[in-house]
């Protein structure tokens, strides 16, 4: 059965997997790095990931490659091919009029570093940058055309004095956008690597879009809980909510015609990671979380409580806006920790479901990769919502369900919010 090489460029780590077109995970690895450095650190992590996957699955070769990445991060690339320091999604920037999540970061670079801005030929999202390095065309990947104004358009660029030619042409996710080159860091010098020259590169979208697909949260009322350095709760809805609702982000869904109401928790897993690295070094998360949950006086309890408070606040924001949440399909690092999942179920009184591929961005990549292989390079258009739902139903399966075992925790005092 064809194997898909899937990668996700996160804020603090690159994850990669080999997944077949039936949705079975054959290999997985994760390589951490520090943000705010050259994006070449992503390429180094990706090369290490390919070597790790080759050790896990000796002798196999992928039939296609597809990546996702954190957004709205951008990488400036010069006309000579030099990659400058990324403009990260978490960088403080001045809010601008208009719906674009990307242009405020570009405007900030223009104002802060005119020289770097003047050298820039293209701005790439992380997954577009990696795909381009491996042989893809220079393109900007949209989930679908409804997303254009949330990236950029001519009117917003003109208002800010930014040349729209700095952005590669739009395409939509699921297309074949190139082929692995003969010489690249992924193919292996001896030609025996996981990415044989000539296999298709499939257009992947941002991590949140791919997580919706990889959790199977593709119908109105379904909810995805994305976890990692940051965290998000994303509710699918058939009707577009009126503008921004409190702290919620309203965006089109992965499926054209649906909408997403998202509550973002900017510091979630990072709080625990900062505590762990400062206090315990590389102690495994499973052991650390168990120690914290068993001991209310544990010094890590403050970080765990802060994460819980933020999670309950996000649920409250969603429910006040008319989006009740009863069960969530979890994606990301927290989904691998059974104690943490049960703690969140008990704390919130909600049901949590974990897919067989817990890092749902990788599962979403596999769904689009499998569709691309089925359709072939000459298929007209792109996969529509019906095709994506059908393929996700075939490939995405729930591995475990966590039910609340205790009554929901009492409301936390306001002075602790």
CA torsion angle 14 376 148 133 (round to 10): 40
Residue pair 186/50 in contact (Cβ under 8 Å)? The answer is yes
Residue pair 34/41 in contact (Cβ under 8 Å)? The answer is yes
Domain housing 317: 209-356+399-416
Residue 250's pLDDT is what?
A: 87
The residue among 154, 170, 204 that closes a domain is 204
The Cα-based distances of 313 to 118, 293, 308, 334 in angstroms read 42, 20, 9, 18
Q: Is residue 243 over pLDDT 60?
A: no
> 127 and 222: one domain?
no
Residue 374 β-bridge partners: none
Residue pair 27/53 in contact (Cβ under 8 Å)? The answer is yes
> 10 and 157: one domain?
yes
Residue 259 β-bridge partners: 237, 252
On whether residue 120 sits in a domain, the answer given is yes
> 261 and 139: one domain?
no
14-23, 179-188, 250-259, 289-298: least confidently modelled range: 179-188
Residue 394's pLDDT is what?
A: 95
> 237 and 269: one domain?
yes
- 124: tokens are 């790439």
> 23 and 125: one domain?
yes
The residue among 142, 175, 204 that closes a domain is 204
> 153 and 231: one domain?
no
Residue 330 β-bridge partners: 225
On whether residue 252 sits in a domain, the answer given is yes
On whether residue 255 sits in a domain, the answer given is yes
pLDDT digits (tens, 9 = 90+) for 35-56: 778 899 999 999 999 999 999 9
pLDDT digits (tens, 9 = 90+) for 354-412: 999 999 999 999 999 999 999 877 666 677 889 999 999 999 999 999 999 976 555 54
Residue pair 383/375 in contact (Cβ under 8 Å)? The answer is yes
Which SS3 state, helix, strand or coil, does residue 271 take?
helix
Residue pair 237/220 in contact (Cβ under 8 Å)? The answer is yes
Dihedral (CA of 17, 22, 24, 27) sign: negative
Mean pLDDT score of the chain, rounded to an integer? 88
CATH value at residue 193: 3.30.420.40
Residue 359's pLDDT is what?
A: 93
On whether residue 37 sits in a domain, the answer given is yes
> 214 and 199: one domain?
no
What does 57-72 look like in DSSP terms, one character per residue? STT---SEEEEEE-TT
Q: Structurally, how many domains does the chain consist of?
A: 2
341 vs 351: CA distance, rounded Å: 9
The residue among 184, 204, 224 that closes a domain is 204
In this prediction the pTM is: 0.89
> 186 and 114: one domain?
yes
Residue 246's pLDDT is what?
A: 62
Residue 381's pLDDT is what?
A: 66
> 125 and 38: one domain?
yes
Strands (DSSP E) found in 125-160? 140-142
pLDDT digits (tens, 9 = 90+) for 104-160: 999 999 999 999 999 999 999 999 999 999 999 999 999 999 999 999 999 999 999
Which SS3 state, helix, strand or coil, does residue 207 take?
helix
> 294 and 317: one domain?
yes
């Amino acid at each position: 059965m064809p194997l898909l090489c899937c990668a996700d460029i996160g804020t603090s780590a690159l994850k990669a997997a080999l997944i077949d077109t039936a949705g079975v995970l054959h290999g997985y690895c994760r390589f951490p790095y520090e943000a705010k450095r050259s994006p070449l650190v992503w390429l180094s992590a990706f090369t290490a990931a390919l070597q790790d996957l080759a050790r896990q699955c000796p002798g196999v070769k992928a039939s296609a490659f597809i990546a996702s990445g954190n957004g709205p991060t951008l990488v400036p690339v010069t006309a000579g091919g030099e990659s400058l320091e990324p403009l990260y999604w978490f960088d403080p920037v001045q809010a601008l009029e208009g719906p674009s999540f990307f242009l405020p970061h570009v405007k900030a670079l223009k104002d802060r570093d005119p020289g770097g801005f003047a050298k820039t030929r293209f701005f790439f999202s992380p997954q577009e940058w990696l795909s381009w390095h491996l042989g893809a065309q220079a393109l900007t990947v949209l989930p679908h055309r409804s997303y254009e104004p949330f990236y950029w358009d001519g009117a917003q660029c003109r208002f800010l004095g930014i040349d729209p030619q700095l952005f590669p042409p739009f395409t939509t996710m699921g297309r074949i956008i190139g082929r692995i080159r003969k010489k690249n860091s992924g193919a292996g010098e001896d030609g025996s690597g996981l990415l044989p020259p000539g296999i298709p590169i499939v257009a992947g979208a941002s991590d949140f879009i791919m997580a919706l697909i990889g959790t199977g949260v593709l119908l109105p009322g379904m909810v995805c809980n994305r976890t990692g350095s940051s965290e998000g709760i994303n509710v699918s809805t058939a009707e577009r909510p009126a503008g921004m609702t409190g702290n919620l982000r309203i965006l089109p869904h992965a499926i054209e015609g649906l909408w997403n109401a998202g509550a973002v928790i900017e510091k979630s897993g990072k709080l625990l990671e900062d505590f762990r690295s400062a206090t315990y070094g590389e102690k495994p998360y499973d052991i650390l979380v168990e120690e914290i949950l068993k001991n209310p006086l544990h010094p890590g309890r403050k970080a765990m409580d802060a994460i819980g408070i933020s999670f309950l606040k996000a649920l409250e924001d969603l429910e006040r806006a008319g989006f009740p949440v009863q069960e969530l399909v979890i994606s990301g690092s927290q989904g691998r920790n059974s104690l943490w999942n049960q703690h969140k179920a008990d704390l919130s009184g909600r049901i949590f479901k974990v897919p067989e591929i817990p890092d749902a961005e990788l599962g979403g990549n596999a769904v689009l990769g499998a569709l691309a292989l089925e359709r072939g390079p000459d298929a007209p258009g792109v996969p529509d919502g019906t095709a994506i739902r059908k393929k996700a139903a075939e490939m995405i399966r729930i591995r475990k369900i966590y039910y609340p075992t205790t009554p929901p925790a009492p409301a936390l005092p306001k002075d602790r919010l």
